[in-house]
Amino acid sequence: MVALISAFGLVLAVELPDKTLVATLVLTTRFRGWPVFAGVCAAFAVQCVIAVAFGSVLTLLPDVVLSLVVAAMFGLGSFMLLREGFSKADEAGEDASRTGPSPSSFTRSAMTSFGVLFAAEWGDASQLATASLAARIGNPFAVGVGAFAALVVVAGLAVFIGGKIRSRIKPKLIQRCAGFAFAGFAAFALLQLAF
């Protein structure tokens, strides 16, 4: 029980201000809430299994390699969000998107959400925390369940908030803010190499 509570508390604290919340929030402004939540939770489940299974290996990665990979992923995410956030192609249809989410199919929305969060979680602080706890505590199942529960809580909050602000805030503005936040995360990961 200590392993489960420790993992839940640590991962929740790490993920609340993290890109996971921002990415899920952005996805919720583009797609309906339930498919986003389903896809995000599936991605979290797979990432928790990977983190627990390879906990000791992940903690042994050289800091330089890990920082470069994390910086590259954040940089790519920033580029994609900013490109879409500043694109002119959707400006005419933006008012239509403010009245409701994209009418995409459940499967398409869920798979898009899965892909975005699955890629974003590689090298994430929550993945490293989960791997580290699994290696230290020696109870991988409890650590995995606690970490997954925390990630589901964060995803639920993001979907709820995204649903509430969808009609009040332009999706392009959220994408731009998220893109700049991702650029900041990439810069921070590169700064870690210097210290």
pLDDT at 89: 56
Whether 43 and 118 have beta carbons less than 8 Å apart is answered as yes
- Residues of the chain whose pLDDT is less than 70? 16-17, 54-61, 66, 69-70, 73-74, 77, 80-81, 89-104, 123, 138, 166-167, 169-171, 174-175, 178
User: 0.85 exceeded by the pTM?
Assistant: no
pLDDT at 39: 92
pLDDT at 93: 41
pLDDT at 182: 72
Q: How does DSSP classify residue 169?
A: S
CA 12, 15, 20, 21 torsion-angle sign: positive
Other beta carbons within 10 Å of 191:
11
| Residue position matching structure tokens 């890629």 | 119
